[in-house]
């Protein structure tokens, strides 16, 4: 349909084309090039990390972060079930398995109380390691996820992780621009924090990721492992490494986008606020979490539908489509996904209560007020009929 309003498309109206042309003119198109370093510095500043290494995607960034922090074959990594499949895949790429847990209503992030209780009851210490008793597997790390760009309640999560000696990798894929208790997402206590620059994220590099941390030596190790673990300028390699570097072409787009990061995030928040205002009166609907202790990045906008009160989210998506609007249902939880059906899992009642009722709505940074009004009118028509 010609006038279909898309869910989320990038806004490339800054210096993107000019910087790409610079790459072509200079022939620096690969992972050696000035834009990569410049991009890493811009991201480090934006998330308040001491150091950042740019990588090829959020997924490879998560895998690299876990590997850097010592996650190995057969380990367990605690993961909230309400996340994009990439979080679980990155754990599986280490030969490890997610240990799936529930989220809390107030942020849709890992529930700190369930996390603590599961560790207290189901694990035991053996030397310096913690083991999951039922599966006899080492629990090496926890991966909190900042769902839709909304930080998880990190203070209690980090406190529990430290007590049990777990490494913390934050999946902050869509959370660039968010804060938690006034702190930026790179400074919330995780050992490593991973951002995605995929095409549909608030800031894009076409594809790409960044791994940031407060300990420069840890980020340096991630950089080393992500660049074939080369130990000198020749062909000596000291570990099994990966080719995960971001290219200068990606970083060129990323740099142009980072120049506008504040504006892009502000637009996302404005769109989300405008939906909230316009749809507030529709009976039975709810909005995405907005806890007092965080300012979310509002990567996606949308609503939650009242069960038994509205058509199912999938039906609303179909009806929106006939009106030229691209709305979507949301991530099916990991414990229901074929590759992870046998992963250790705790009860996930909150996860199950919310995921089916989530409806995401068009929220491109470049969305016009007129198009947004069209979405609101269409939605009211569908939900109030
Ligand atoms: C986007 C996203 C990813 C994946 O990032 P890619 O760059 O697409 O690999 C991982 N986790 C979450 C929570 C995401 O939103």
Predicted confidence at residue 170, as pLDDT, reads 98
Closest-CA residue, ligand 1 atom 2, reads 173
Give the other-Cβ count within 10 Å of 32's Cβ.
11
- Minimum mean pLDDT among 45-49, 72-76, 140-144, 280-284: which range? 280-284
Task: Give the atom of ligand 1 at the shortest distance from the alpha carbon of 90.
Answer: 10
Q: CA 176 to CA 270: how far, in whole Å?
A: 16
Give the other-Cβ count within 10 Å of 371's Cβ.
17
pLDDT tens digits, one per residue of 199-222 = 999 999 999 999 999 999 999 999
CA of 339 to the centre of ligand 1 (A): 18
Ligand 1 site, residue 334, Cβ cutoff 6 A: no
Is residue 248 within 8 Å of 23, Cβ to Cβ?
yes
Predicted confidence at residue 385, as pLDDT, reads 73
96: number of CA atoms within 13 Å, CB side?
A: 27
Ligand 1 site, residue 175, Cβ cutoff 6 A: no
24-28 contacts at long range (C-beta below 8 A, 24 or more positions apart): 28/248
Is residue 254 within 8 Å of 39, Cβ to Cβ?
yes
3-state DSSP assignment of residue 104: coil
Q: CA 244 to CA 247: how far, in whole Å?
A: 9
1 has pLDDT over 60: no
CA of 120 to the centre of ligand 1 (A): 30
Strand order across the 358-361 sheet: 286-287, 301-304, 358-361
Please give the structure tokens belonging to residue 95. 């030969």
User: What is the per-residue DSSP string for 27-68?
Assistant: T--SS-SHHHHHHHHHHHHHHT-SEEEEES-HHHHHHHHHHH
Residue found under tokens 């009722």: 357
Q: Which comes out higher in pLDDT, residue 268 or 31?
A: 268
Mean pLDDT confidence for 230-255: 95
Ligand 1 site, residue 171, Cβ cutoff 6 A: yes
Give the other-Cβ count within 10 Å of 103's Cβ.
27
Is residue 53 within 8 Å of 186, Cβ to Cβ?
no
Ligand 1 site, residue 173, Cβ cutoff 6 A: yes
Alpha carbon dihedral 83, 87, 88, 91, in 10-degree steps, equals -150
Closest-CA residue, ligand 1 atom 7, reads 58
Please give the structure tokens belonging to residue 27. 């022939």
Mutate to test the pocket of ligand 1, among 10, 174, 337 (most ligand atoms within 8 A of CB): 174
Q: How confident is the model at residue 2 (pLDDT cuts 50, 70, 90)?
A: low
pLDDT tens digits, one per residue of 366-377 = 999 999 999 999
Mean pLDDT confidence for 272-280: 96
The vertex-44 CA angle with 42 and 50, nearest 5°, equals 145
Q: CA 190 to CA 337: how far, in whole Å?
A: 27
What Rg, from alpha-carbon coordinates, does the chain have? 21
CA of 3 to the centre of ligand 1 (A): 28
* pTM assigned to the model: 0.97
pLDDT tens digits, one per residue of 115-170 = 999 999 999 999 999 999 999 999 999 999 999 999 999 999 999 999 999 999 99
Ligand 1 site, residue 16, Cβ cutoff 6 A: no
3-state DSSP assignment of residue 229: coil
For CA atoms 149, 153, 159, 165, give the dihedral sign.
negative
Please give the structure tokens belonging to residue 234. 């020749």
Closest-CA residue, ligand 1 atom 5, reads 58
292 has pLDDT over 90: yes
Is residue 114 within 8 Å of 48, Cβ to Cβ?
no
Q: CA 130 to CA 133: how far, in whole Å?
A: 9
């Amino acid at each position: 349909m010609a006038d279909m309003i898309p869910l989320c498309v990038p806004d490339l109206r800054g210096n993107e084309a000019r910087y790409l042309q610079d790459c072509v003119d200079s022939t620096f198109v690969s992972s050696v090039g000035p834009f990569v370093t410049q991009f890493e510095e811009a991201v480090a500043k934006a998330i308040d990390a001491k150091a950042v290494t740019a990588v090829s995607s959020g997924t490879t960034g998560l895998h690299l972060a876990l590997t850097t922090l010592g996650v190995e074959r057969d380990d367990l990594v605690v993961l909230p079930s309400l996340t994009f499949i990439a979080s679980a895949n990155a754990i599986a790429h280490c030969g490890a398995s997610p240990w799936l847990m529930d989220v809390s209503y107030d942020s849709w992030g890992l529930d700190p109380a369930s996390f603590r209780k599961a560790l207290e009851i189901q694990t035991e210490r053996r030397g310096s390691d913690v083991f999951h008793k039922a599966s006899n597997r080492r629990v090496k790390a926890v991966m909190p996820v900042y769902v839709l760009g909304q930080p998880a309640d990190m203070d209690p999560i980090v406190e529990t992780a430290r007590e049990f000696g777990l490494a913390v990798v934050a999946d902050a894929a869509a959370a660039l621009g968010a804060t938690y208790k006034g702190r930026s997402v790179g400074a919330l206590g995780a050992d490593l924090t991973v951002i995605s620059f995929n095409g549909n994220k608030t800031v894009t590099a076409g594809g790409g990721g960044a791994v940031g941390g407060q300990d420069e030596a840890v980020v340096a190790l991630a950089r080393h492992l992500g660049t074939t673990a080369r130990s000198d300028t020749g062909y000596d390699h000291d570990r099994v490494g990966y080719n995960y570097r971001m290219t200068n072409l990606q970083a060129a787009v990323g740099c142009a986008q980072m120049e506008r990061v504040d504006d892009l995030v502000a637009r996302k928040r404005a769109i989300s606020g405008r939906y909230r205002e316009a749809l507030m009166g529709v009976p039975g609907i709810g909005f995405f979490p907005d806890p007092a202790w965080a300012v979310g990045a509002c990567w996606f906008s949308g609503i939650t539908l009242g069960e038994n009160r509205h058509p199912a989210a999938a039906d609303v998506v179909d009806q929106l489509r006939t009106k030229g609007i691209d709305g979507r249902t949301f991530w099916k939880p990991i414990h229901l996904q074929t590759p992870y059906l046998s992963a250790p899992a705790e009860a996930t009642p909150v996860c199950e209560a919310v995921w089916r009722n989530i409806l995401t709505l068009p929220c491109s940074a470049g969305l016009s007020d007129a198009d947004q009004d069209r979405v609101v009118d269409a939605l009211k028509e569908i939900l109030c009929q």
